[in-house]
A and B are shown apart, each in its own frame.
Chain A
Amino acid sequence: MASNGIRDRVAIVGMGCTKFAEHWDKSTSDLLVDATKEATASAGVEVKDIDAFWLGTLFSGQSGLTLSRPLKIDYKPVSRLENYCATGSEAFRNACYAVASGAYDMAMAIGVEKLKDSGFSGLPNSNSVGDGTRAGLTAPATFSLLAPAYGKKYGVSDEQLKEVMTRIAWKNHKNGALNPRAQFRKEVPKDTISCSPLVAGALGIFDCSGVSDGSAAAIIVRAEDAHRYTDKPLFVKALSFVAGPAAGPIDPDYDYTTFQEVVASAADAYAQAGIKDPRQELAMAEVHDCFTPTELVLMEDLGFASRGTGWKEVLAGTFDLEGELAVNPDGGLKSFGHPIGASGLRMLFECWLQLRGEAGKRQIASVARGRKLALTHNLGGAPGECVSFVSVVGSERS
């Protein structure tokens, strides 16, 4: 038994990503058509050339018809799936495996979410409450549990922790300000972030990702066919997805300072990609910064900083756009926005731009110096009970 991976067996040859925004004037179908148009155009193909489709959405539609109806797909396989906030990544993973297996020559992974139509603050509820005994925590409340636990374990004061969280939000807004597709395109002063109204625990409004509408898509072919579509394909080095036992809320040994699911998926992905030192080998990482303490903990879980030091590295600027390892150069969930089903593919879209040298004002310098690998990380659930996805893509076949 092993997780063997499909290193360098498939490649991304075209991508599309809508602006993430409050798209009051666009439906779910419009967003799907927009992302598909851009992705197919970038690969130089048409929808009829695609053999199979994977659609990721949590709230915005069920069944393959959600995609086949607006695109008028002629009798081809379309799978609709969800895996919480890692839904877009899960669509990508399944499309990659389908092509790697030889079942199809060309597949499209597409994610979409239309959150703003609900009229709610935050996310809608998805499931029946069953027996009515689960505490109805909102997402910011569950992730706010990380901050005091981290502070207590590593001796970081509440004030220092707030400064760290503020800097993460400030950095991601600064990056997003350079991104024409981001939901929030403004730098935000640190004072504004740290003084924003509290939502849950120590989390203010500016510690939370944007609720938005959007869609993103990728066209996937076998690696050996990639250059028929583009000079600069991205080769898939690693795909790892894990679901944990959801032990955190019932196991006193869990201390709310780590996502064990992320540690496991990162180790698997690094093994598949042959990465020994991610901080030295990666050009960039797009990580699931749903709330600022999440990004802090992820720096340690993904091996970018050793345990208990992530907060210092954040303050030192290690993960800034110009830092040693750029994290969330496109603005992240924080300022790019978080339409659930689209987010995983949006992260890949930034890798696509950066590794191809097409990121404009956000272009990361280390790519020109020869770094050729990028990582995406997506998680869904809550601390102690989540699913986690890590992918590594590269601009060269090794």
Chain B
Amino acid sequence: MRGLLAYGVYLPYSRLERKSIADALGAPAGSGTRAVASYDEDTTSMGVEAARSALRGTTAVPELLYFATSDPAYLDKTNANAIHAALDLPPSTMAIDVAGSVRSAAGALRAAVDARGPALAVLSDVRSGLPGGGDERDGGDAAAAFLFGEGDLLAEPIGHASLTAEFLDRWRVPGESYSRQWEERFGEFAYVPLGEGALVEALKHAGITAPEVDHLIVAGPHGRSNKRVAASAGVRKESLVDDRTSVVGNTGAAHAGLLLADVLDRAQPDQVIAVVSLADGADVTIWRTTAAMRARGGRTTVAAQLTSPGRVSYATFLTWRGVIRREPPRRPDPQAPDAPAAARAEAWKYAFIGSRCQACGARHVPPQRVCVKCHAIDRMTPEPMRDVPAAIATFTVDRLAYSMSPPVVVAVVDFEGGGRFQCEMTDVDPGKVKLGDRVELTFRRLYTANGIHNYFWKARPIRGGQ
């Protein structure tokens, strides 16, 4: 029996208060917050973080990696390869983008569930809209990852159904930054019957009735339709799942996955979870949790990530999204990495693999050929360092260096068990960094130059719960 082996979620550190949009634009903007990918994040980097969380503690090695997003960092180049590299997966693992629309996520999940061998689906999205609009206010940024295969399953798929129909609700032509939407009530007219119909089919396929559903998730870009389908599903009232949009926003391709993970975090064994995804059709999967749920743990829960202290001002949010172009420092523009150098350094740059001297045991970050301690030559073995915690040995706040979000905080960090590295810090208040603070590594997009994204690792204060 194939099913869910592991899952993980990544919510970015920062939140935008919707009230701050109203304050800046003088327009009503509602309450609550939305999650905001930092200036150094994109769907690929967030996907890496979610996938790291999913794979932590598992032994299964994915043979397939599907990456779904409506906002790919590159076109005409597979974004899943950077995730593949950051996870240090074997070259024989195929990595594929399923990109362009929110429904890509349902497709990636379905393909991963149905695959042979362990398969990883990574769902990630950055949602924006024109200033003052609903997409900007109600959108959110997040990533989720699910590993499917055989073995100790957390949940089994017991039924599914899909309905497809061609209609125009949301769209964006290539090259445009923001999506457009037809009148909301038309979308409702199109989506609700699809959602209701697919749910009925899926329940029938699973051989259960609506009242037997313990958790009903309805997610999709069209908020009103989600609510209508949930209300008419016939499930018990307590089975309706909080869609987390008041804190996180609607995270597009990541959202159904985010909510499934949130439910899995608290579900009991032998419970039924129905996931309805309304995006250019309706895709429903019914899951039944297993006794192995009791052994889950070790990952950061969705609930723990909801309460992040990070806050961005509306002006900062607009700057990070490229809406406001700020005066740069009088410094040279950042340079794109050289493709051959980046390819040679793949294990280091993407997977943060250093080296360990076999003669004296000293760790080297980045990897070296000659030992800094005993000078032995070519006695090194690869040393994965991305999950090793570290402490700040010294740091500085660089107010001169180029950054999308100055000032740059740079720390010299000493890893537990040996090794030192000097790197940028992120998700940090420059005024609160202290010598000795514990940090962990996070995969980021340092900057983009000449249309080339420079991905690498930064240090951030250790997040609670890990």
- By a CB distance below 8 angstroms, the chain B residues around A199 are 399-400
On chain A, the residues within 8 Å of B419 by CB distance are 250, 252
B331 at the interface (CB under 8 A from A): yes
**Min distance, Cβ B72 to any Cβ of chain A, angstroms:** 20
Which chain B residue has the least Cβ–Cβ distance from A132?
B337
Distance A249 CA – B341 CA, assembled complex (angstroms): 21
In the assembled complex, B332 has its CB within 8 A of some CB on chain A: yes
Query: Closest Cβ of chain A: how far from B173's Cβ, in Å?
Result: 32
- Whether A251 lies near B338 (C-beta < 8 A) is no
> Of A131, A148, A198, which contacts B337 at CB under 8 A?
A131
* Stretch in contact with the other chain, from A30-38, A67-75, A99-107, A117-125: A117-125
Contacting pair A131 B330 (CB below 8 A): no
> 1/0 contact trace for B394-426 toward A, CB 8 Å?
111111111000001010101000111111100
Q: Which of B43-51, B202-210, B258-266, B364-372 contacts A (4 or more CB under 8 A)?
A: B364-372
Range of interface residues on chain A? Answer: 35 or more
B174 → A minimal CB distance (Å): 27
**How far apart are the CA atoms of A299 and B50 in the complex, in Å?**
50
- Distance of A37 Cα from B217 Cα, bound (Å): 83
How long is the Cα–Cα vector from A250 to B422 in the complex, in angstroms? 8
In the assembled complex, the Cα of A137 lies from the Cα of B423 at a distance in Å of 9
* Whole-angstrom distance between the Cβ of A116 and the nearest chain B Cβ: 12
Q: Bound complex: CA of A342 vs CA of B393, how far in Å?
A: 35
Is the beta-carbon distance between A245 and B372 smaller than 8 angstroms? yes
Q: Does A243 contact B (CB under 8 A)?
A: no
- Contact between A128 and B372 (Cβ–Cβ < 8 Å)? no
Assembled-state Cα–Cα distance A149/B368 (Å): 26
Partner of A148, one of B330, B341, B398, B435: B435
List, in ascending order, chain A residues with CB within 8 A of B366's CB. 133, 250
Interface pair B364/A250, CB less than 8 Å apart: yes
A125 touches B418 (CB 8 A): no
Contact with B along A154-189 (1 / 0, CB 8 A): 000000000000000000000000000000000000
Question: A141 in the interface, Cβ–Cβ < 8 Å?
Answer: yes
Q: Is the CB of A198 within 8 A of B399?
A: yes
Contacts of B401 in A (CB 8 A): 136-138, 141
Least Cβ–Cβ distance between B153 and chain A, in angstroms = 38
Tally of B interface residues using CB under 8 Å: 46
Interface set, chain B 346-390, CB cutoff 8 A to A: 348-349, 364-366, 368, 372-373
A125-B332 in contact (CB<8A): yes
* Bound Cα distance from A141 to B401, whole angstroms: 9
Shortest distance from the beta carbon of B90 to any chain A beta carbon, whole Å: 22
Shortest B419–chain A CB gap in Å is: 7
Check B396–A144 contact: CB distance below 8 A. Answer: yes
Q: Are B456's CB and A132's CB within 8 A?
A: yes
Residue B24, interface by CB 8 Å: no
Collect the chain B residues with CB atoms within 8 Å of residue A152's CB.
435
In the docked arrangement, what's the CA distance between A140 and B422, Å?
15
Among B332, B344, B349, B399, contact of A120 (Cβ-Cβ < 8 Å): B332
In the complex, the answer to whether B349 meets A247 with C-beta atoms within 8 Å is: no
CA distance A156 to B364 in the complex (A): 32
Given the complex, which residues of A lie within 8 Å of B412, measured CB to CB?
145, 249, 256
**B422–A135 touching, CB < 8 Å:** yes
Q: How far, in whole Å, are A250 and B423 apart by their CA atoms in the complex?
A: 11
In the complex, the answer to whether A128 meets B338 with C-beta atoms within 8 Å is yes
CA distance A124 to B335 in the complex (A): 12
Q: Least Cβ distance of A118 to chain B in Å? A: 8
B394 surroundings in chain A (CB, below 8 A): 145, 148-149, 256
A199 to B400: give the CA distance in the assembly, Å.
6
Flag if A249 contacts B420 (CB, 8 Å).
yes
Q: Does A2 contact B (CB under 8 A)?
A: no
Q: B342 near A131 (CB under 8 angstroms)?
A: yes
| CA gap between A132 and B412 in the complex, in Å | 18
Closest Cβ of chain A: how far from B147's Cβ, in Å?
Answer: 28
Contact A249 B349, beta carbon cutoff 8 Å: no
Inter-chain CA distance A245–B373, complex, in Å, is 10
Assess the A128–B329 pair: CB atoms within 8 A.
Answer: no
- B330's closest neighbor in chain A, by CB? A121
B60 touches A (CB below 8 Å):
no
Instruction: Tell yes or no: B300 within 8 A of A by CB.
Output: no
The answer to whether B372 and A250 touch across the interface, beta carbons within 8 angstroms, is yes
CA distance A237 to B344 in the complex (A): 47
Q: Are A132 and B421 in touch, CB under 8 angstroms?
A: no
A129 interface contact, C-beta 8 A:
yes
Q: Are A135 and B423 in contact (CB under 8 A)?
A: yes
Q: 1/0 contact trace for A328-344 toward B, CB 8 Å?
A: 00000000000000000
Interface residues of B in 406-465 (CB under 8 A from A): 408, 410, 412, 414, 418-424, 435, 446, 454, 456
Cβ-based interface call for B334 (8 A): yes
CB pair B456 A247 closer than 8 Å: no
Per-residue interface assignment for chain A, residues 39 to 78, with 1 indicating a CB less than 8 Å from any chain B CB and 0 otherwise: 0000000000000000000000000000000000000000
Q: Which of B330, B337, B410, B454 contacts A137 (CB 8 A)?
A: B410
A133 and B402 alpha carbons, distance in the complex (Å): 15
Is A200 close to B, CB under 8 A? yes
Shortest distance between the CB of B441 and any CB in chain A (Å): 12
User: With a CB–CB cut-off of 8 A, which chain A residues contact B396?
Assistant: 137, 141-142, 144-145, 200-201
Question: In the complex the two chains form, what is the Cα distance from A327 to B394 in whole Å?
Answer: 29
A130 at the interface (CB under 8 A from B): yes
Given contacts A122-B331, A252-B418, contact A130 B338 (CB under 8 A): yes
The reply on B306 being an interface residue by CB < 8 A is: no
B235 interface residue (CB < 8 Å to A)? no
Q: Output the nearest chain B residue to A126 by Cβ-Cβ distance.
A: B332
Whether a CB of chain A sits under 8 angstroms from the CB of B293 is: no
Proximity bits, A237-254, B CB within 8 Å = 1, else 0: 000000001010111101
Answer whether A130 and B337 are a contact pair too, CB < 8 Å, given A141-B398, A201-B396.
Answer: yes
What distance in Å separates the Cβ of B344 from its nearest Cβ neighbour in chain A? 7
B435 x A132 contact (CB < 8 A) = no
- Tell me the smallest distance from the CB of B432 to a CB of chain A, in Å: 15
Q: Is the CB of A200 within 8 A of B342?
A: no
The CA-CA distance from A342 to B337 in the complex, in Å, is: 31
Which of chain A's residues have a CB closer than 8 A to the CB of B435? Answer: 148, 152
Asked whether any CB of chain A lies closer than 8 Å to the CB of B94, the reply is no
Q: Which of B338, B348, B364, B400 contacts A129 (CB 8 A)?
A: B338
B335–A120 contact, CB under 8 A? no
Q: Are B335 and A128 in contact (CB under 8 A)?
A: yes
B22 CB within 8 Å of chain A: no
A132: B residues at CB distance < 8 A:
336-337, 341-342, 349, 446, 454, 456
Interface residues of B in 10-48 (CB under 8 A from A): none
Residues of A near B373 (CB, < 8 A) are 251
In the complex, which residues 293-319 of chain B have their Cβ closer than 8 Å to any Cβ of chain A? none
Q: Which residues of B contact A129 (CB under 8 A)?
A: 334-338, 454
A158 to chain B, nearest CB (A): 12
**What's the Cα separation between A103 and B338 when bound, in Å?**
43
The residues of B with any CB-CB pair to A shorter than 8 Å are 329-332, 334-338, 341-342, 344-345, 348-349, 364-366, 368, 372-373, 393-402, 408, 410, 412, 414, 418-424, 435, 446, 454, 456
Cross-chain pairs A/B with CB under 8 angstroms, 13 sampled: A120-B330, A120-B332, A121-B400, A124-B332, A125-B332, A129-B454, A132-B456, A141-B400, A145-B395, A249-B420, A249-B422, A250-B364, A251-B372
For the complex of A and B, 6 pairs with smallest distance between CB atoms: A132-B337, A141-B398, A131-B345, A201-B396, A132-B454, A131-B341
Q: A-side interface residues toward B, CB under 8 Å?
A: 119-122, 124-125, 128-133, 135-138, 140-142, 144-145, 148-149, 152, 198-201, 245, 247, 249-252, 254, 256
11 additional A-B pairs beyond A125-B332, A133-B456, A135-B410, beta carbons within 8 Å, are A120-B332, A128-B335, A130-B338, A131-B345, A133-B349, A141-B410, A145-B394, A145-B412, A148-B395, A199-B400, A254-B420
